[in-house]
Amino acid sequence: MSQLSSKHLLGICDITEDDINLIFKTAENFKQVINRPIKKVPSLRDITIANVFFENSTRTKISFELAEKRLSADVVNFSSSNSSVKKGETLIDTVNNILAMKVDMVVMRHPAPGAHQFLSRHIDANIINAGDGTHEHPTQALLDAFSIRESLGDLKDKKIAIIGDILHSRVALSNIYCLQKLGAKVTVCGPPTLLPRHIRSLGVEVSHNLQETLEWCDCANMLRIQLERQEDKYFPSLREYSLQYGVTMPMLQNLKKEIILMHPGPINRGVEITSEVADSEQSIILNQVENGVAIRMAILYLLAGKQNS
């Protein structure tokens, strides 16, 4: 297989195991490219990509922009906070106006779950989901799975724990879909108030006990408490959350086996993990960020190949 099954990347839910493996194989080649002294290839010369961000981002936005530039694409960046969205322009009008300037692909982050599916019914260009509200963050899940595979090998039967604020996390849902498609076993762990009521229907195990979860897993993906998405109070205080669900170095050192630690960022140091854990040998957090560029190059390259097929 040399092509993706879809012209968009809207979510991991919509892609196949073969798609994921093709993205990984392509990303391995691009990882070699970006570690060379000359990091640029001409693959997307004459392709124009718009990065359209209706929400804040550090990693995803920079990573996409670097991936696009490494592939020699022309890049325009749109941020809703200083745009005509503030004057009431709709999503479809905004994107159609950008596309009228001969843009070929749209990378979009939007606070509304499903915004990308909605847009895909109204425009012709390839759309890549860079995060839609609490729904999906497919490129994060792909770079996460790629980074786990790099550290632990084939994901089949690997035990992955996703710990923290699952309820508000698009990273959690995309990771669950991606890891399960690759044959991994997934447990979600957190306080009952931060786990969606029907999460078991996705085929994951559920735990409220951090110590037991750490003893079970090969890899712990620590998620941030998303205070900006929380209208209600889900736990008494950050201090109490941290005492029950924060990972510390002594906890890792007392486990019978060495596990790896991940975090999609941004980290709340001292809440979900201590600084010592974040910066430890067991943390692969910066590997995730490095791999993000290669994964996004692979996705852009493969979707560009789908443009007229």
Contact of 195 with 166, CB cutoff 8 Å: yes
Place of tokens 């009952």: 192
Between 11 and 264, name the residue whose CB sits nearer to ligand CP.
264
Which residue in 3, 6, 43, 57 binds ligand CP (CB under 6 A)? 57
Among 60, 169, 207, 221, binds ligand CP (CB under 6 A): 60
Spatial distance between the Cα atoms of 108 and 46, rounded to a whole number of angstroms: 20
Which residue, among 122, 117, 133, 126, has the nearest Cα to 92 in the 3D structure? 122
For ligand CP, the closer of residues 8 and 296 by Cβ is 296
CB of 169 to ligand CP, least distance (A): 10
Q: Does 164 bind ligand CP (CB under 6 A)?
A: no
Q: Which x/- pattern over 125-144 shows residues binding ligand CP (rule: CB under 6 A)?
A: ------x--------x----
What residue ranges in the chain does DSSP mark as E strands? Answer: 48-53, 74-79, 105-110, 126-132, 159-163, 185-189, 205-207, 219-222, 260-262
CB 209, min distance to ligand CP, A: 26
Please say which residue, 172 or 207, places its beta carbon nearer to ligand CP: 172
Q: Under rule CB under 6 A, which residues in 242-271 are in contact with ligand CP?
A: 264-266
Min separation Cβ 175 and ligand CP, Å: 11
DSSP 136: B
Taking the C-alpha atoms of residue 71 and residue 125, their distance in angstroms, rounded to an integer, is 18
> What residues line the site for ligand CP (CB under 6 A)?
57-60, 131, 140, 264-266
